Amino acid sequence: MNTRREFIGQATCAGFSLAGMLSTMGTLRLFNASLSAQTIPFDTDFKALICLFQYGGNDGNNLIIPMDASGYAAYATARGAALALPSTNLNALTLPAGDGRSFGLHPSMPRLAGLFNAGKAAAVANVGTLVGPLDKTKYKKGGAGVPPYLFSHSDQQVQWQTSVPDSPLKVGWGGRLADMTQALNTGSQISMNLSLAGENYFQVGNEVFQYPLNTSGSIGLTNYTSTSTPTKQQYAAVQAVVGHSYGHVFEQEYVNVMGRAIGNDTLLKGILDPSKIPLYNEKFVASTTSGLGTANPTLNPVASQLRMILRMIAAQKALGMKRQIYFAAVGGYDTHDNQLTGQAKLLGQLDNGLADFNQAVADLGMANNVTTFTASDFSRTYAGNITGSDHAWGNHHFVTGGAVKGGQIYGNMPDLTLGGPNDTGSRGSWIPGISTDEYSATLAKWFGISPGNMAMVLPNIGRFAQPDLGFML
């Protein structure tokens, strides 16, 4: 451990660890119909940005699928019976007149298709990690122009979350975004960067640290305010340690961090307590199909995280926060085997979670203030490997929210020809046409970063032609 900053960061992470996410299926209805018309007080200039990471590498080739006759025929031939989805089950996307393209979403995603067709979601095609603009000729030459460690899960996750593939620094672009905008949260005791999925690189900042939550709320010392014996005496001892002054800088910083963590946990538990602020909690009523509210709830892991995010968004005024950045994540997308069944389940969870969350945010009157975007390690090969697919590169992603210019596919779908101009080889690993920098910069601009300051958040953005892809209002 070499620096005071490293010490503080590790002390913070050591103080609280995130419990494992709930898995299993289930549709979450975030609001009871009788409560959906209620709104809450919030700052009109409030904004929340939510990264929903699909760990393992989601197969974008079965996310957005050609539906015109020739396009689908080529798709079915290339993917084969093990991976090709029936054309009759696809959810058609209504694209702008004259676009000339015909595409549909995976059969498990009818509600996201509905958001897209209603103009509340946009697709961004063939996004990936890039050092600079790249074509097949440049890729074949290799060298510094190609991102290092392509097709590696851990490396591509870091590169997606930091957006600096040619740098050893592990500061995330969400962390840099928080560093640039933290002054807007003056007076708030809680970090702007809130994670529902444990530690991540996306939210690592130079000044702002991520604050872990779980699907039930704040993670802290249990029964800290208990009056029972011996718990009361035990925590009195903790308070004495935290309240003591120490001569050593590391010791003092440790107790300072611990003291703030305890204070923040107490504050957050109080704000989220339904008996104290029922308006923030009574609205989170589950349907009978989700099982939420029962003794042993069976939750969709996407929806359970988004439900907690929704509670925090609803409490933004009480927390004194005008900006919030969230990280949620689900694993299981590394579908080398049994892809049709595995991906169908995962995308069904994503579909229901996103749709319910967007409706719930709209019911709060905050649709234009909240934007959610997907990210993943990479896509998967167009050609399969018996019942699954392998690690690839450029992928398709979705952005949802009231401030999204929806109903469009931004960027160009790759030429879906094995060995073609967009393929790195012969199996259908698409060279990205849009960089993670351009994707991220468009979101950062909406969040409040001016073009002149964009390089502070995304150092490589000047290498690319589209610092604003146009999918945000």
Do 142 and 68 lie in a common domain?
yes
Cα 296–Cα 297–Cα 300 angle in degrees, nearest 5: 150
Confidence of residue 236 (pLDDT cuts 50, 70, 90): confident
Confidence of residue 152 (pLDDT cuts 50, 70, 90): very high
> Region 219-235: what's the mean pLDDT?
75
Say if 26 falls within a structural domain: no
Do 262 and 241 lie in a common domain?
yes
Do 196 and 230 lie in a common domain?
no
Do 68 and 170 lie in a common domain?
yes
Do 459 and 344 lie in a common domain?
yes
Sheet holding 64-66, edge to edge: 64-66, 103-105, 91-92
pTM over 0.75: yes
> Region 369-393: what's the mean pLDDT?
98
Say if 405 falls within a structural domain: yes
pLDDT in tens, 244-253: 899 999 999 9
Q: Does the pLDDT value for residue 18 go beyond 60? A: no
Say if 267 falls within a structural domain: yes
Say if 53 falls within a structural domain: yes
Do 356 and 439 lie in a common domain?
yes
Contact partners, residue 158, CB within 8 Å, separation at least 6: 170, 201
Q: Does the pLDDT value for residue 29 go beyond 70? A: no
Q: Does the pLDDT value for residue 86 go beyond 80? A: yes
Say if 470 falls within a structural domain: no
Say if 19 falls within a structural domain: no
pLDDT in tens, 34-75: 333 346 778 999 999 999 999 999 999 999 999 999 999 999
pLDDT at 20: 28
Mean pLDDT of the chain: 87
Mark which of 298, 333, 360 sits at the end of a domain.
298
Say if 33 falls within a structural domain: no
Do 157 and 228 lie in a common domain?
no
Q: What is the CATH number of the domain that holds 165?
A: 3.40.720
> Region 311-338: what's the mean pLDDT?
95
Q: Does the pLDDT value for residue 276 go beyond 70? A: no
Do 248 and 151 lie in a common domain?
no
| Total domain count, the chain | 2
Range of the domain at 80: 46-215+321-463
Do 112 and 183 lie in a common domain?
yes
Q: Which has more pLDDT, 236 or 6?
A: 236
